[in-house]
Amino acid sequence: MKIFRISSFLSLGIAGVLAGLLYWTSQSVQHEETILLQSQQAISFEQETLQVLGTEWDYLTRPQRLEELARERLNMVPPHSGEDILDTVSELPDAPLAETIFIEQAQTAKAPSVSPTISNAERESFGQLIDQIGGEEVTP
């Protein structure tokens, strides 16, 4: 019996290569699986965080809390009693003082000038542009 035949070495070599491939595949799978598990864990962690944040959001936006804040900070109250509902537009209350002043200023102030103001630098660059295209600049 001849042990050291070429076919034996060949078989051994193939087995070795296959073992290596198998090992590499298994390592790759394990590696990918680890990444997958990590991603899943990260997702579930984020989901848990979202659950807590969602609960906190609904806690902070409780209607009674929003109403209290609107009353304290914005001077807003629920629309109560018949007087709050107007029949005609003329019954609308006067605008608040600050707005009235603004409106008065707007009415009395001079209208802003609409004539175009062109800086010298702009005029120069515009002149250059006209030169390049071989036209003539028209002075207003």
Partner 1 sequence: MKTLSRTTLHMTGSKRTALDMARGRIVLISAIFVISFIIVAGRALDVAVIQGTWGQGQETRTSLLEHKNEKTATVRHDIVDRHGVILARSLKTASLYADPKIITHPETVAKDLTAIFKDMSYGDTLKKLQEDKRFVWIKRNLTPDEQYKILYLGHPGLSFQEEERRVYPQGELAAHVVGITNVDGGGLSGIEASFNKYLGQGTSPLALTLDMRLQHVLKREISYAMTKHRAIGGAGLIMDVRNGEILAAVSLPDFDPNLSGDVKDVKRFNRLTLGVYEPGSTFKLFTTAAYLEKNKNGLGDKFDATQPLVFGRFKINDYHAEDRLMNVAEIFMHSSNIGSALMGHKVGTKDFKDLLSDLGLMTAPDIEIAEISAPLIPQNWGDINTATAAFGHGIAVSPVQLVSAAASVMNGGIKVKPTFILNRDIENKRGIRVVSPETAHHIRQLMRLVVTDGTGSKADVVGYHVGGKTGTAEKNTRGGYDKNRLVSSFLGVFPSESPQYALYIMIDEPKPTKDTYGYATGGWVAAPAVRKTIESMVAILGMEPQEPKDDLKGSLARYVPPKEKINMQKVSHETE
Binding site for partner 1 (CB under 8 A): 3, 23, 27, 30-31, 33-34, 37-38, 40-41, 44, 48, 51-52, 54-56, 58-59, 62-64, 67, 78-82, 84-85, 87
In the bound complex, what is the minimum distance in angstroms from residue 95's beta carbon to partner 1? 22
**Cβ(52)–Cβ(58) under 8 Å?**
no
Torsion of CA 120, 121, 124, 125, to 10 degrees: -150
Alpha helices in the chain (DSSP H): 6-60, 63-74, 97-108, 120-133
Q: Smallest distance, Å, CB 85 to partner 1?
A: 5
Give the shortest CB-11-to-partner 1 separation in angstroms: 14
Is 45 or 126 the residue whose CB approaches partner 1 more closely?
A: 45
Instruction: Please state the closest distance from residue 96 (CB atom) to partner 1, in A.
Output: 21
| Amino acid of residue 52 | V
Q: Which DSSP string do the residues of 89-124 spell out, in sequence order?
A: GGGPPPPPHHHHHHHHHHHHSPPPP-S----HHHHH
Alpha carbon separation from 101 to 52, 94, 97 (Å, rounded): 48, 12, 6
Of 33 and 137, which has the nearer Cβ to partner 1?
Answer: 33
